[in-house]
Amino acid sequence: MDKFMIEGGERLFGSIRAQSAKNSVLPLLAASVLTDRVVTIREIPPISDVTCMAQILRELGAEVRLNDGAAVIDSSNAGEHRISSALTKELRSSVFMLGSLLTRFHRAVTAYPGGCDIGLRPIDLHLNALKRLGVNISERDGYIFCECDRLRGAEIVLDFPSVGATENILLAAVKAEGRTVLSGAAKEPEIVDLQNFLNRMGARVRGAGGDTIVIEGVKTLGGVDYTPVKDRIEAGTYLIACAVCGGEVEVEGVKPENVGLLLHKLRENGCKIHTKNDKIRIASYGRLKCNRRIETMPFPGFPTDLQAQATALNATAEGGTLVVENLFETRFKYVPELIKMGADIEVRGRTAFVRGVPRLNGATVTAGDLRGGAALLLAALGAEGTTELLDLSHIDRGYSDPEGKLRELGAHIRRVRI
């Protein structure tokens, strides 16, 4: 187990290039099973979720090589359709394998997926959509059993624009007989990235980024060499880090429109923001003003994956902030750790009331999930004194070498093996 030792109070200066998006790379890896040709995904971030997904592919019989920042997958000899419970409990994104396995083998068995403990996150939307495509589903002993003679196109309406369900439907419908029309689809940039990836393989998908996606089933898919979109959540985390600490930082690789509402909130805080092409520059000096309200919503609304980091920022901003979490019911589990550092935050259900204090103080805190851990990291960077941040396994799920990147910006942070 590792921990961070962080000496707070240093301003950040310099530039950083965003890694490829975790939330794009994982479904692309799942999609590699759709073909028996070689798939190459460039600029893969060395994070533990990628390692876990690669191991799932290997258990299915695929050959996976992670070399020089690229993943090369050959699933021509893949024949297994069951995913072990040990891996599914580690990785929420293992649920994407249902659509891919049903397309490739017409059957799939998986345990309920795991990942961060931030709420129930039921997969009913996934399963109901698969049933519409002709899949027979049964559940027993904690496993989901799926099988079909063939997949058939259908009209599917999602009651909520679930990113995971949208991606699973694309993976299941891409070789289904006929046309699938998905209404109420998620609009995230990662959905567009999956569409582009599939179309490069020979699929016929259109409409991603909008409410309705149309998938015309094809008989075969080929190989692809692809570089994913950059990680807007990682980019947003480092922009917020600069806002918390003060200084000037440029983040490269992310389209400003993909973090548009975050940039609006940072300007509201009093930060200066300048954008050009895929570069975003932030300048932060003096105590920030609070955001009156932050409310998480599906894209293009404020991302739930940046809610914790934004709360950490407002913990020392002048005034009070109302934070409303609409997507996950237990996403405020990090708040007691911020309170240890001197934050004044009251949580009532899915709402947090943040009263800004002049400063936070170093303390020993524990990361309980990926984004909550990132929030504690940002709070520690801006706090007075030394913070000991424990259980980095959560942070390592989504951020590659955060300590190295932050040191290059001037932070005093080191990783220590316990």
Decide: helix, strand or coil at residue 339. Answer: helix
pLDDT of residue 20: 97
**Mean pLDDT to the nearest integer, 106-133:** 73
pLDDT at residue 310 tops 90: yes
Asked if residues 289 and 269 have their Cβ atoms less than 8 Å apart, the reply is yes
Domains of the chain (ranges; CATH) run 2-19+230-417 (3.65.10.10), 22-226 (3.65.10.10)
**Mean pLDDT to the nearest integer, 295-320:** 97
Q: What is the pLDDT of residues 62-114, one digit of tens each?
A: 999 988 899 999 999 988 888 877 777 666 657 778 999 999 999 998 877 65
User: Which of the two residues, 109 and 268, has the higher pLDDT score?
Assistant: 268
Residue 271 annotated as catalytic: no
pLDDT of residue 115: 39
Q: Which of 52, 116, 242, 245 is catalytic?
A: 116
Residue 355: pLDDT band by 50, 70, 90 thresholds? very high
Element (H, E) at 286: none
Token duo for residue 14: 């310099």
pLDDT at residue 120 tops 90: no
pLDDT at residue 261 tops 60: yes
Torsional sign, CA 255, 260, 265, 269: positive
**Mean pLDDT to the nearest integer, 256-262:** 97
State residue 391 phi and psi, 5-degree precision. Answer: 60, 70
**Mean pLDDT to the nearest integer, 7-26:** 97
| Closest C-alpha among 364, 372, 303, 365 to residue 334 | 372
Amino acid at the residue 300: P
**Mean pLDDT to the nearest integer, 166-183:** 97
| Closest C-alpha among 92, 95, 101 to residue 49 | 92
Name residues whose C-beta falls within 8 Å of residue 287's C-beta, 6 or more positions apart in sequence: 316, 317, 318, 358
How far is 355 from 87, CA to CA, in rounded Å?
40
pLDDT of residue 119: 38
Asked if residues 408 and 14 have their Cβ atoms less than 8 Å apart, the reply is yes
Residue 118: pLDDT band by 50, 70, 90 thresholds? very low
